[in-house]
Structure formats: structure tokens, C-alpha cells
């Protein structure tokens, strides 16, 4: 069964303000990343269904192994869905992992996006990179804690997602190891 049939997309909300994000998300793996009024965290259960997340698909675990060269498996695949003109993700660091020494690996599918990446502080120069369907990003070593975000997507630049999800859009799959090996 597809991951999104067992773990439906949910609307994350911002810590403290409870403002909804412009994207929707779900997860696969032993841990899922969630955001709500109480903060950002990893948890074993879907926030709405209470069920554990579906297993991380073998093809993604194999890609993690091949691309990172690690023998320790990923624990989380965060699935972000961007739809419409306004979907974006603010500049952030991936730093909720207990062990931050592992790479973070992502796959972009569907519509193209403007990815912004800077350095280890929020201020300072950033670069804009266009991510197309099939592109892979890996943050590791010096770049592991780089600030990054999605300025905007380019609606209807790909038809891929529309074959599976009403309205199409862009999916980013982010694979992470949370705990020490």
C-alpha cells in the first residue's frame, strides 16, 4: 500500500503561533518529523491517526545507503507536498536530530523549485539553486547545518505528481538518521 494511503498528509502548524504552514506533510520510517503548537519533534506515530508511520520504502533506504556510503539506515523520510502558487518553506537548519553528524539527503519530484542555501548563520550570503524533478540534495560535513529553504515552486513545470495526487505540485523526500548508530 502506498505510504500516503496509510499515513495521510497532515497540515503542520508553527510552534507557539499555531499558524498553518503553506505545505502539507507526512512521513515514512520508524520516526516522523512533526511541527505543531508545541514545537518541532520526531515521533513514532502520526499526529492525526495515532498509527505508526509506514515503513521506509526499500528503494529509498537503498538510495540512502548508496548515496551516503553509510551502513547505518535512515530512520525518517519526511514527505513534503507543495501545491499552488504560495507554497514555500522558510530558511531553516535541520537540527532536531539527536545525532547531527549524519548527512541529510533529499529528493525533489514534480514541479521545479527555487532552493536557497546559505551558511551556518541566518544572516550572510545565500545562493539560489533551481531544483528540478529527480534532483538530489545532500547536506553533510561543512554544509550539514547550513540554512536553507524553498522560496517558491514553479507551478505546472512538471506533470509527474498529478498522476498520483489531485492538483499535482512538488514533493520533497528528506531522509534522516535521528539517533546515534
Considering the rule CB under 6 A, would residue 137 count as an interface residue with ligand MD6?
A: yes
Give burial (CB, 10 Å; 0-12/13-18/19+) of 81: buried
* Cell numbers representing residue 49 in the block: 491517526
* Cell numbers representing residue 140 in the block: 553533510
* Cell numbers representing residue 42 in the block: 520526531
Task: For residue 105, give the nearest of 78, 137, 129, 77 by alpha carbon.
Answer: 137
Q: Where are the alpha helices (DSSP H) in the chain?
A: 3-6, 58-68
* Helix (H/G/I), strand (E/B), else coil: 66: helix
Partner interacting with residue 89 (select from ligand MD6, Fe ion, none; CB below 5-8 Å by kind): ligand MD6
| Site residue total, ligand MD6 (CB under 6 A) | 13
Residue that the C-alpha cell 529509498 belongs to: 60
Select from 104, 109, 161, 178 the one that contacts ligand MD6 (CB under 6 A): 104
Task: For the segment 70-89, give every residue that binds ligand MD6 (CB under 6 A).
Answer: 80, 89
Q: Select 52 or 143, whichever has its Cβ closest to Fe ion.
A: 143
Q: Minimal distance in Å, beta carbon 180 to ligand MD6?
A: 19
Considering the rule CB under 6 A, would residue 68 count as an interface residue with ligand MD6?
A: no
Q: Select 133 or 172, whichever has its Cβ closest to ligand MD6.
A: 172
Select from 26, 27, 83, 106 the one that contacts ligand MD6 (CB under 6 A): 106
Q: Phi/psi zone of residue 39: left (φ > 0), alpha (ψ -120 to 50 degrees), beta? A: left
Task: For the segment 86-105, give every residue that binds Fe ion (CB under 5 A).
Answer: 94
* 90, 118 contact by CB (below 8 A): no
Task: For the segment 28-47, give every residue that binds ligand MD6 (CB under 6 A).
Answer: none
Residue 137 pairs in a beta bridge with: 106
Segment near ligand MD6 (CB under 6 A); pick from 38-46, 54-62, 63-71, 103-111: 103-111
Residue numbers at the binding site for ligand MD6 (CB under 6 A): 80, 89, 94, 104, 106, 108, 115, 137, 139, 148, 150, 172, 174
Q: Which residues bind Fe ion (CB under 5 A)?
A: 94
Amino acid at each position: 500500500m502506498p505510504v500516503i494511503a496509510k499515513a495521510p498528509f497532515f497540515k503542520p502548524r508553527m510552534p507557539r503561533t499555531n499558524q498553518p504552514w503553506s505545505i502539507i506533510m507526512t512521513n515514512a520510517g520508524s520516526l516522523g518529523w512533526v511541527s505543531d503548537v508545541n514545537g518541532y519533534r520526531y515521533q513514532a506515530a502520526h499526529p492525526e491517526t495515532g498509527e505508526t508511520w509506514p515503513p521506509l520504502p526499500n528503494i529509498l533506504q537503498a538510495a540512502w545507503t548508496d548515496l551516503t556510503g553509510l551502513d547505518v539506515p535512515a530512520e525518517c523520510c519526511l514527505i513534503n507536498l507543495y501545491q499552488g502558487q504560495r507554497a514555500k518553506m522558510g530558511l531553516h537548519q535541520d537540527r532536531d536530530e539527536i545525532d547531527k553528524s549524519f548527512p541529510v539527503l533529499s529528493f525533489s519530484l514534480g514541479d521545479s523549485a527555487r532552493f536557497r542555501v546559505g551558511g551556518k548563520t541566518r544572516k550572510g550570503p545565500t545562493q539560489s539553486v533551481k531544483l528540478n524533478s529527480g534532483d538530489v540534495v545532500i547536506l553533510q560535513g561543512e554544509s550539514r547545518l547550513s540554512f536553507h529553504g524553498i522560496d517558491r515552486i514553479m507551478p505546472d513545470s512538471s506533470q509527474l505528481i498529478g498522476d498520483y495526487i489531485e492538483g499535482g505540485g512538488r514533493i520533497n523526500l528528506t531522509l534522516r538518521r535521528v539517533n546515534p548508530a
